[in-house]
Structure 1
């Protein structure tokens, strides 16, 4: 009787996991699959201007790349930015070095001196140590210092003052040639005060392949683009790797300085824009941006345990529930598949009943990755290790609660956030 009850409970859990994966797949198609995109084509079904439109002489763009110990990838980021097709758009590029210890600033300065990178438009700003007695989290300090520098050096354009734009790009982003001009053109066309683009995720290490596809799906579901773009909806989201502000609007909300202690500053900036009644425009930018977030498991673990609990509004029950749900959806079907195999050896007549929900769950995980490849060009590599991703995320949730609540081990790039 006990074995029969156990099998029945496993069957229910297995079919619930399969149903949950089906709902996730359908919800993602409705929210992300049909979301407006900014790309290199002429038109968009959602009405967004997607081509690299003609730049306007009324616009001037300041691109700011905050960098802390980015020596291994800053050259790639800056090189792609300098190769942008700006179509007459006036601009400047500032790499704001956040007191790096790995030669990030020195390496760029050497490339400028050698003539590899032109200056202007490239300028390297050494932000120096953070002020004693003030709390600055993450990239808020270098971003704020870069904007302060811009205030001391007005735009070089002659004639009537242009519309100024501030674009914050992370050092782990690679932009396509049309990205900058297209973003400014779309922001101008739509009247956006903040235009943010969700990049295409590129995975390089095993840790990224097993975790990032799951996280991206959850983010897409948790912050629907339609709600973020609806002025009457409180949902606010900004993708930190690419945020384009109308400068006057950025200054109206106080910029990064107004939220110096915020760890998840992109969400805080998006909320500030909406709360002020300004226009937020959130689009998919998978055709124009590529993001490689973490070089290894250690960096991934530090990054997501830093943010996970914060992203769920510091709600312990919600954070723990998210870990349980991910574990059930992505690890559960594989566990059931293993149990079905063991049951087949011990009790051949019982194993087919367990196999059905297990195969349904595994098949839907494959369907989810096929959908990601179709919509976002995410490779299928290691899809069969999604069970491992479920285990990792299930561990991230309680650890994130502990770090955020106690401050112990709560770091980013080795810097304490407590």
Structure 2
């Protein structure tokens, strides 16, 4: 019996040491790629001096059941500091909402003539229109700007954002300028998942590669903020060209590059903020909708990312937990090394997470729950594969996303 117990102790000790070492190696690689991506990331900051004039800008907000967001979103746009406020047009494309979205938007339209609410007709049955593509396509029919800015209803713009972005696009002849926003977290689920998702995006889509015109395969845009020059948008076919694509932001970025227009992806943490989800249910539905597709519907890549997340965020905590169990066993003299390695791995993780939080202008919260964060994000990756491939529960705010056979 004693020999069996010692064998188990040795096995647990080896597993603990292995998990800690693997976690440390994974962190060095993962956060090394993140650091490289962020160090190469351009940053767009608010203008110090307002230009004398700006072209007309049409801000387009596709909205489906956005009663909780729509008023604050429109208000932040109308508060924009512009040299000529009349150059602003705000188009709210209400995509058959069943809540108070249209009513709230119309109330603001009554107060400011720059706001126009467009009731989006039902989607045609003879073609596949996914996500926000139909609503955006209807809105641009009434857009009169030289620049078309597509934002989500959960976005809040700083007063200088529109002027800054348009001036940058004008100066550098940018066909599509997309900004990475400051992500706000409210509930526990957001704090556990959203910071990890920001890191994954920074690692998966290098800012330098995206902005390099010689790398057409590297294309990305952040859906919450996409500023097109009208001519570039029309040249690539706009949202109609990607009608059947749920990840339309990436698809449009690819088209922009393929057609030889300049794609510019930068951090805009001081220019905009977004709280993407309000609770775990919304977060799960939203990320499982996009995660697998964002990986190009690549099964290996998606599963690999799930494993990497577990190695980086969860394994160090399991290794330390096993080491503590060993150390508490009076029969074991093998717990010291695993405990030292486990503490070292957790300390390394805390250091990297603190650096990441500072880079993304976020407080570091619930770092002691990183093990749970890793499990949740890897579950989202697997859940996204299952939902996308089977259609089971693949919805957005109750709308089924699986295309039905005609």
Give me the TM-score of the superposition, normalised by structure 1. Answer: 0.90
* Residue 217 (structure 1) aligns with: 199
1:235 alignment partner, SS class: coil
Query: Which residue of the other structure, out of 28, 41, 51, is the alignment partner of 1:22?
Result: 28
Question: Mean alpha-carbon deviation: is it higher for 181-190 or for 23-32?
Answer: 23-32
The 5 A counterparts of 1:276-315 are 276-315=259-298
* Residue 318 (structure 1) aligns with: 301
Partners of 1:203 and 1:112 in 2: how far apart? 29
Contact 2:179 2:226 in 1 (8 A): yes
Question: Shift in Å at residue 51 of structure 1?
Answer: 4.3
Query: Which residue of the other structure, out of 180, 185, 195, is the alignment partner of 2:177?
Result: 195
* Residue 362 (structure 2) aligns with: 378
Structure 1 outlier segments of 4+, above 3 Å: 50-53
1:282 alignment partner, SS class: strand
Partners of 1:333 and 1:9 in 2: how far apart? 11
Question: Mean alpha-carbon deviation: is it higher for 228-237 or for 86-95?
Answer: 86-95
Question: Shift in Å at residue 307 of structure 1?
Answer: 1.2
* Residue 82 (structure 1) aligns with: 78
Question: Shift in Å at residue 2 of structure 1?
Answer: 5.4
Partners of 1:23 and 1:55 in 2: how far apart? 47
Question: Mean alpha-carbon deviation: is it higher for 203-212 or for 398-407?
Answer: 398-407
Task: Indicate whether 1:127 and 2:120 are aligned.
Answer: yes
* Residue 100 (structure 1) aligns with: 97
Contact 1:33 1:375 in 2 (8 A): no
Give me the TM-score of the superposition, normalised by structure 2. Answer: 0.93
* Residue 162 (structure 2) aligns with: 180
The 5 A counterparts of 1:43-54 are 51=48, 53-54=50-51
Partners of 1:53 and 1:21 in 2: how far apart? 43
2:142 alignment partner, SS class: helix
* Residue 46 (structure 1) aligns with: none
Query: Which residue of the other structure, out of 189, 198, 204, is the alignment partner of 2:186?
Result: 204
User: How many residue pairs get matched?
Assistant: 393
Change (3 A) 1:20 1:84: same
CA-atom RMSD, angstroms? 1.6
Partners of 1:412 and 1:222 in 2: how far apart? 24
2:96 alignment partner, SS class: coil
Query: Which residue of the other structure, out of 342, 352, 368, is the alignment partner of 2:336?
Result: 352
Partners of 2:236 and 2:335 in 1: how far apart? 61
The 5 A counterparts of 1:355-370 are 355-370=339-354
Contact 2:16 2:322 in 1 (8 A): no
Question: Shift in Å at residue 416 of structure 1?
Answer: 1.1
Change (3 A) 1:55 1:67: farther
Contact 1:410 1:416 in 2 (8 A): yes
2:29 alignment partner, SS class: helix
Question: Shift in Å at residue 193 of structure 1?
Answer: 0.3
The 5 A counterparts of 1:58-69 are 59-69=55-65
Change (3 A) 1:348 1:6: closer
Give CA-to-partner distance per residue, 1:28-52, whole Å, 9 cap, x none: 2221144211112xxxxxxxxx646
1:92 alignment partner, SS class: strand
Contact 1:52 1:185 in 2 (8 A): no
Question: Mean alpha-carbon deviation: is it higher for 231-240 or for 80-89?
Answer: 80-89
Contact 2:16 2:320 in 1 (8 A): no
Contact 1:55 1:185 in 2 (8 A): no
Partners of 1:213 and 1:52 in 2: how far apart? 33
